[in-house]
């Protein structure tokens, strides 16, 4: 499937750079599903939709490709990356390793949960009450990243950042398909913060195991990813 210019919707201007506006517009469209997985993106359509030239579009494509929102295929162009059940399992396993390591270090150093996690937890629950799932997913990402960043390993944080696109897209799909899970997620988040604040690494690791299990309602609609 290739999106053509006839389907364009003019984006609102902003003070951001042209490439930044293209990036935000495409990223939000991909996360929300407005631009479907597997879609080939037409440079002209994107440029006309955002109100810019094709050069910022190419710059945005490069950034989106590095973050795994899109795949740039030789002789085919830019295609929205398709997240498979297998990939989700691999992402969650990688997150578990990184977050588990960071949490263990924070407990061992008796640092407690970063103050940012407390603030983000409240904001996340407010977004869920409004059923603003896109905002909730963004806050969820920042919540978990705050724990990783607080550990102080910049390379580990950089590695964690590469998982962002898939984590957010699948997270949004999970909340939209099972909004009733939000209270459980909130409870787990509060448990994670409490475990960090009480330096209880054993409880923290148990909570992360439970929290990062794939959601059946989501994996059921993802492809297997088998070669």
pLDDT of residue 171: 82
Query: Which domains, and CATH codes, for the chain?
Result: 2-80 (1.10.10.10), 85-215 (1.20.120.530)
pLDDT of residue 15: 53
d(CA 158, CA 136): 22
d(CA 28, CA 26): 6
Is 90 exceeded by the pLDDT of residue 175?
A: no
Edge-to-edge strand ranges of the sheet holding 77-80: 2-3, 40-41, 77-80, 70-73
Question: In the predicted model, what is the mean pLDDT of residues 139-168?
Answer: 94
The reported pTM is 0.79
The two structure tokens encoding residue 181: 């899970």
* Count of alpha carbons within 13 angstroms of residue 84, beta-carbon side: 8
pLDDT of residue 193: 98
Question: In the predicted model, what is the mean pLDDT of residues 172-198?
Answer: 90
Is 80 exceeded by the pLDDT of residue 32?
A: yes
3 state DSSP class of 133:
helix
The CA angle 113-201-194, to the nearest 5 degrees, is 40
Question: In the predicted model, what is the mean pLDDT of residues 191-215?
Answer: 95
């Amino acid at each position: 499937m290739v999106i053509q210019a006839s389907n364009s919707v003019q984006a609102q201007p902003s003070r951001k750079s042209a490439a930044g506006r293209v990036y935000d517009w495409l990223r939000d469209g991909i996360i929300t599903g407005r631009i479907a997985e597997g879609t080939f993106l037409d440079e002209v359509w994107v440029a006309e939709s955002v109100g810019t030239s094709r050069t910022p579009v190419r710059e945005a494509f490069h950034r989106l490709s590095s973050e795994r929102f899109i795949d740039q295929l030789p002789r085919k162009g830019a295609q929205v990356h398709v997240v498979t059940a297998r990939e989700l399992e691999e992402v969650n396993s990688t997150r578990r390793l990184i977050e588990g390591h960071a949490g263990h270090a924070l407990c061992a150093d008796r640092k407690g949960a970063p103050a940012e996690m407390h603030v983000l937890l409240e904001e996340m629950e407010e977004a869920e009450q409004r059923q603003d799932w896109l905002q909730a997913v963004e806050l969820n990402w920042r919540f978990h990243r705050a724990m990783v960043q607080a550990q102080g390993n910049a390379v580990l944080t950089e590695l964690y950042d590469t998982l962002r696109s898939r984590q957010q897209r699948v997270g949004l799909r999970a909340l939209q398909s099972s909004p009733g899970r939000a209270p459980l997620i909130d409870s787990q988040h509060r448990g994670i913060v409490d475990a960090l604040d009480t330096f209880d690494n054993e409880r923290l690791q148990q909570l992360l195991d439970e929290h990062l299990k794939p959601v059946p309602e989501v994996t059921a609609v993802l492809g297997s990813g088998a070669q």
